[in-house]
Chain A
């Protein structure tokens, strides 16, 4: 049980921003929120993580709700190369990282 909820799929147009939501309503105070993505025919790769504050890196931004029960991964300008399955993970005991079904992002030219 991944204990996160994500939409099964989303679509975006190339060059437009994408907001990928994740619900983790049972999150505890010490749980990190991690995002990974899996490109076709590859292993998952780390995208970003956060605890309480919004985070930015070269790949994406992570916006975390004030109550921490949800978060949004933001791709500022989607490219065709961003088409992948995106996983939101509640990392809750430092020993176990459980993946749900993720969101399949399709980017249209």
Chain B
């Protein structure tokens, strides 16, 4: 079954404690991205990656890091989380060929206290 998986699904942490949210896809997609979703602000793109070792900033990259060492994995790293990073995070992947249908993970709800 084609899918994007994220872990953990829920996470409560404290300010400044480094964390990583993992993302994996089994569709051999070249393109992967991370979004955050906040009430009233919709989905905003954090980072994206067009292929292995190629990453670029989205609309809201401050406070986040990513890496793409393997095609299937695209972890999101918060080196020093702050309360304003409390949000619902989605990982997504798609092929770089038409029709570019994007698949989303189930989401990770992060709370930073």
Does B35 contact A46, Cβ atoms closer than 8 Å?
A: no
State the interface size on chain A (CB cutoff 8 A). Answer: 21
Q: Which of B43, B45, B103, B105 has the most CB of A within 10 A?
A: B43
Main DSSP-derived SS at the B contact region: strand
- Shortest CB-to-CB span from A53 to chain B, Å, is 13
- 30 residue pairs A–B, Cβ–Cβ below 8 Å: A32-B98, A32-B100, A34-B102, A36-B102, A43-B4, A43-B90, A43-B92, A43-B106, A43-B107, A44-B43, A44-B90, A44-B92, A44-B102, A46-B101, A46-B103, A49-B99, A91-B100, A94-B96, A95-B31, A95-B50, A95-B56, A96-B45, A96-B48, A97-B33, A97-B45, A97-B100, A98-B45, A98-B59, A99-B43, A102-B42
